[in-house]
């Protein structure tokens, strides 16, 4: 019983820490272009093109922040 409570507490602490980090820093570097907004072709290193995933910003919304925004939108639509 004590191990279950400890494990639950650890999981809740990790989830709370992730939620707080999503509130404080909602954006992260794009995983495709590493935050540069463009990436180089593998065949020709001199050619670079805009990143399709981040739309040339170099930043993407984190998954937790996307879920939070969707939940807020649903809550507002229900009222």
Q: Quick one: CA dihedral 26, 28, 31, 33, positive or negative?
A: positive
Structure tokens at 6: 């400890």
pLDDT in tens, the chain (79 residues): 788 989 999 999 999 999 999 999 999 999 988 888 888 777 776 778 888 889 899 999 999 999 999 999 999 999 7
CA distance 18 to 22: 6
pTM of the predicted structure, to 2 decimals: 0.70
Domain of residue 18: give its range.
2-78
Q: What is the pLDDT of residue 2?
A: 81
Question: Residues of 15-49 as b/e, b for ≥16 C-beta within 10 angstroms?
Answer: eeeeeeebeeebeeebeebebebebeeeeeeeeee
Residue appearing with tokens 């229900």: 78
CA distance 15 to 39: 33
Q: What is the pLDDT of residue 76?
A: 95
Number of compact structural domains in the chain:
1
């Amino acid at each position: 019983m004590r191990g279950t409570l400890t494990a639950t507490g650890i999981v809740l602490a990790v989830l709370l820490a992730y939620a707080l980090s999503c509130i404080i820093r909602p954006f992260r570097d794009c995983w495709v272009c590493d935050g540069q907004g463009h990436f180089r072709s593998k065949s020709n290193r001199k050619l670079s093109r805009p990143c399709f995933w981040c739309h040339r910003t170099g930043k993407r919304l984190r998954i937790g922040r996307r879920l939070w925004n969707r939940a807020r939108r649903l809550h507002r639509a229900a009222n």
